[in-house]
Chain A
Amino acid sequence: MGSRASTLLREEEIEEIKKETGFSHSQITRLYSRFTSLDKGENGTLSREDFQRIPELAINPLGDRIINAFFPEGEDQVNFKGFMRTLAHFRPIEDNEKNKNLPASEPLNSRTNKLLFAFRLYDLDRDNKISRDELLQVLEKVDVEQKMSIRFLH
């Protein structure tokens, strides 16, 4: 899988992704092999079923919401770039000045963008507002129902 992965991902793409998301080269290749391993249909994109196939997500109360977060509005497939874009939100915040050379937009892993991501977790209907029902839904899930992340180790 490894060699195939690197041939399918071209250098310039890696550079683009690196610039956009801030991941390092090795991280990108590693995530790419993860991407391809998830991609059963081998068409270069992931669909929701591919995500749902991950067993741990089924028992995570927020699993489906996270999955939705990968798919932009109205789409059903996510390519590698989109995959990385979402994952980039979870990189540690860099408080140093390295990112100043980026264009006006903040890096994907800035605090604001992280908060935006979290906001979108709550905002199910994507109207940029969290209604009371949406809040209740989240809380219920986290508290009562499937909030089982069973891998919390003793």
Chain B
Amino acid sequence: MASRWRAALFLCLLMVAYSLANEAPAHETTESPNHEDTSTGNETSTGSHDDGHGDSHGDGHGAPITTLPIVTWKWHHVTAPYFVALWVLVSWLCKLVIEANHHVTTYIPESALLICFGFILGGMIWGADKVQTFSLTPTTFFFYLLPQVILDAGYAMPNKLFFTNMGAILVYAIIGTCWNAATLGLSLWGCHQGGAMGDIDIGLLQYLLFGSLMAAVDPVAVIAVFEQVHVNEVLFILVFGESLLNDGVTVVLFNVFDAFVSLGGGAIDAKEIVKGIVSFFVVAFGGSLIGFVFGLLVALLTRCTKNIQIIEPGFIFVLGYLSYLTAEMLSLSAILSILFCGMCCQKYINANMAETSVETVRYAMKVFANGSETIIFVFLGISAIDKVIWVWNTGFILLTLLFILVYRFIGVFLLTWILNKFRLVPIDFVDQVIMGYGGLRGAVAYGLAVLLDETKIKEKNLMVCTTLIVVYFTVIFQGLTMKPLVQWLRVKRAAHVDLMLIEKVQNKVFEHALIAIEDISGQIGHNYLMDKWKKFEEKWMSWILMKPSARKQQDRLFTVFHQLNLKDAMQYVNEGERRGSLEFIRNESAFVDFKKKFGKEFSDAMPDIMADMDDDEDGASSMRRDPVPSVSLEMHEQNMRGLRGAEEMNSHHLLEQHLYKGRKQHRHKFSRSQFGINQDEDEVQEIFQRTMRNRLESFKSGKMGVAPPKTITKHAKREDQQKMPNGKHKGYQSGDEDFEFSEGNSASGYDASFPVRPSYIAGAGIVNPAFMPDLEDWSPVHIPPWLADAELEEDPVAPSERAQVRLPWMRGHLHRLSSLRSSTRSEEQPGRRDQLPPPPPPPRPDREEDRL
């Protein structure tokens, strides 16, 4: 039945394509200005003359009518848009047919299949028209098909991963591409001199030009192939980042050599070469700057669009496209521009826009990007079936193929060897092989090849033909063999579901230990820069670019949701413990209840979390989900005791959900067809607030006058507190540059009395009740009421650092908090050393509640 359906679809496809071929072909490009195309030979915009079957014209425009026509055939009216729509439809139908056969797509990448479909369609059209009426023109490609792909890439880019590896990516993109271009051009020229290519009329400069357009790794192809392979994130981001950033180099090289070819060999002197180098910097940085500016514009705009939420999502697309065109207009790197636009505005869009708008943007991006990619590949296939461009020169083509592969590998190995001297985590050999093999060329190279000027470059057709063959080889052959290669070489993959639970937990422990040491030693390497950037960004940019409500909103709602969550979770855990089994984990209704209970209230604020709760039930991939964590230890304990089968999977899943992430954990979120919901920042804030609240609570349990949690609010100035010697506040210095809370806080007049943290007992480990969680069952249950009470206060107790700097008006909090801590610490007396403060006694919560 399914196969019959598929066959029917395929037949429909063929029929549509045939009818296309039979119509009066008004080529797509006629609708778009052709001034970009210098070579019209292949464009077949002249295809409109081929009207052999043009019996559909019906009444011409000019013929006078003699009677009122009820219905007229107005093909000429709709020709251009009709074709566009039809071709889009055909391409997407191809994809539909392909995706219906999943067992095929596991072996053959979709892009390869699409190209094959393109061949078939192209063949049919050519058979009908004897000339290729449709092909991928540079205008269509560069203006209408490529921008959305790159915008999606930028928008979904894992920024942290990208910038962490930025150095390596830049090295590969710039030096690698230059290396590829130079070596390819020179080797081909050398071979030409040696006579391997027969008699073709290409000079050194033209070889270099050809080299420069063949050098660039193509982002579309990389996405298409790597997406199905799931290599580890670092490898992926290196290849992908390189493919994106090398556009800057490619544009420059192409233009430079193009200009050189026009100038002719004689006019090139040192001045021109210097100008070439300078132009690289201008193009690359200029493009990025424009993208950045437009990204900021988007962010600013979304700040004010509260009243037009319906069309809010559209702004990113419009402005992104404008950034692309602006850069193109100024002859800067358009790809870099739109890439940085997308990367820059991610965060603010997610913060400022309503949830529905954010979802819309994400979905729409994926639709456009995926759709464009499909069309690109189909047309790449179609463009091949064109006799005009086929000039075969065995030497040229084969040598190009060979050199591309060889020099790619050499380049990667060389550069990685240099890079590994500076990297903390070296790139190992297997990854390098994959990186070399993953240097796929694609439509960008083809587009540039078609842009060549035929008058200056006699052998343009040969070059186009070679480019196509190279593209087909890399996409089809290398795409086909990529997955087996990855498996054969046992490349480190992305998923880590095999980690045992205890390993996961231990990893977290070590992460935190490392982070602590970094903080102590004050050396955090490149993170220091990122810190500084983050500080700057959160101080100034968030202030300007994010809606005030977005800045405020996150804390409060999450806290409330979180406490209720926590309360419920504790209850479930306790219940489960009582029953002595893990049944309650398997009880899906646990999650469902949450949703039912809180769905309405909180779905506006946090549909992300609600959506996650939805998806929890199938225990799906743990990579993408980290919703609100609220499971206490007991559950883990039981997890570790007896796990098997479904239980194990559930608890793996639970654990993955509920473990907090350390600082260094990267998550590979980039996928063309699926996307997870990013919970990082929200989780951070929730965690921190709950943490601080608990800790402050434990603080109270210590010594001196217990201050009710209310005191730790913005308007803290409670009368009913014991005074702490204020001099201690001032004792707090911040000599170290890592200190992120601002100084000069003591003036805020926070005189809440906090208990002195008892001193550490040497050798006795943790003594501080602040860090000693209550192990008894009841105490966690008691916390929520306390927290819930605290929630009645206006502001959350202690905003996370992130929240703190996002909420400048709350900065006062943390001052007080920190001054408090420091003062408590400095209060220690030697005599205390030997006391081991008892664990918080049972009456404590009662005491608290008395005070509340």
Contacts and interface: CB of A to CB of B under 8 A. Distances in A.
Interface string A16-54: 000000000000001100100110100000001101111
Contacts of A153: 160, 530, 534, 663
A76 B833 contact: yes
Interface string A101-137: 0000000000000000010010111100000001011
A6 interface: no
B513 A118 contact: yes
B159 interface: yes
Contacts of B826: 49
Interface in B737-791: 738-741, 759-760, 762-766, 768, 771-773, 775
B514 interface: yes
B756 to A, nearest CB: 11
A75 B512 contact: no
B403 interface: no
Interface stretch (B252-260, B518-526, B701-709): B518-526
B187 interface: no
A126 to B, nearest CB: 5
B818 interface: yes
Interface residues of A, number: 61
B122 to A, nearest CB: 45
Nearest to A147: B660
B633 A125 contact: no
Given A55-B818, A64-B766, A147 B687 contact: yes
B375 to A, nearest CB: 33
Interface centre among B516, B692, B771 (most CB of A within 10 A): B516
B574 interface: no
B691 A142 contact: no
B348 to A, nearest CB: 13
B694 interface: yes
Nearest to B633: A140
Contacts of A57: 516, 519-520
A37 B516 contact: no
A154 B818 CA distance: 25
Contact of B762 (A71, A141, A148): A71
B629 to A, nearest CB: 8
B633 A136 contact: yes
Contacts of A37: 522, 735-736
Nearest to A73: B763
A5 interface: no
B730 interface: no
Interface stretch (B356-364, B450-458, B502-510): B502-510
B825 interface: yes
Q: How large is the interface on B (under 10, 10 to 19, 20 to 34, 35 or more residues)?
A: 35 or more
A74 B508 CA distance: 29
A53 B517 CA distance: 14
A33 to B, nearest CB: 9
Interface string A65-86: 1111011011110000000000
Given A71-B762, A143-B633, A148-B684, A62 B512 contact: yes
Contacts of B509: 62, 118, 121, 138, 142
B512 A136 contact: no
B512 A61 contact: yes
Interface in B111-170: 159-160
B500 to A, nearest CB: 14
Contacts of B772: 137
A65 B765 contact: yes
Nearest to A132: B637
A8 interface: no
B516 A142 contact: no
A75 B762 contact: yes
Interface in B514-563: 514-517, 519-523, 527, 530-531, 534
B232 interface: no
A54 B629 CA distance: 27
A64 B761 CA distance: 11
Contacts of A148: 660, 684, 687-688, 691, 800
A152 B688 CA distance: 12
A137 to B, nearest CB: 7
B615 interface: no
A146 interface: yes
Contact of B632 (A58, A61, A118, A144): A144
A99 interface: no
Given A144-B633, A145-B694, A56 B738 contact: yes
Contacts of A144: 629, 631-633, 773
B624 interface: no
Given A139-B633, A139-B636, A145-B773, 19 more contacts: A40-B735, A49-B828, A59-B801, A60-B519, A62-B513, A66-B513, A68-B760, A90-B517, A118-B510, A118-B513, A138-B509, A140-B773, A142-B505, A142-B509, A147-B512, A148-B800, A149-B512, A149-B663, A150-B684
26 contacts: A30-B523, A48-B828, A52-B825, A54-B520, A56-B740, A59-B692, A59-B801, A62-B509, A62-B513, A67-B760, A68-B760, A75-B762, A118-B509, A124-B766, A125-B763, A140-B775, A142-B659, A143-B505, A143-B631, A144-B633, A148-B684, A148-B800, A150-B688, A150-B802, A152-B665, A153-B160
In the A-B complex, the 10 residue pairs with the closest CB atoms: A124-B765, A152-B663, A66-B516, A56-B519, A146-B691, A140-B633, A49-B825, A37-B735, A34-B522, A62-B512
Interface of A: 30-31, 34, 37-38, 40, 48-49, 51-68, 70-71, 73-76, 87, 90, 92, 118, 121, 123-126, 134, 136-154
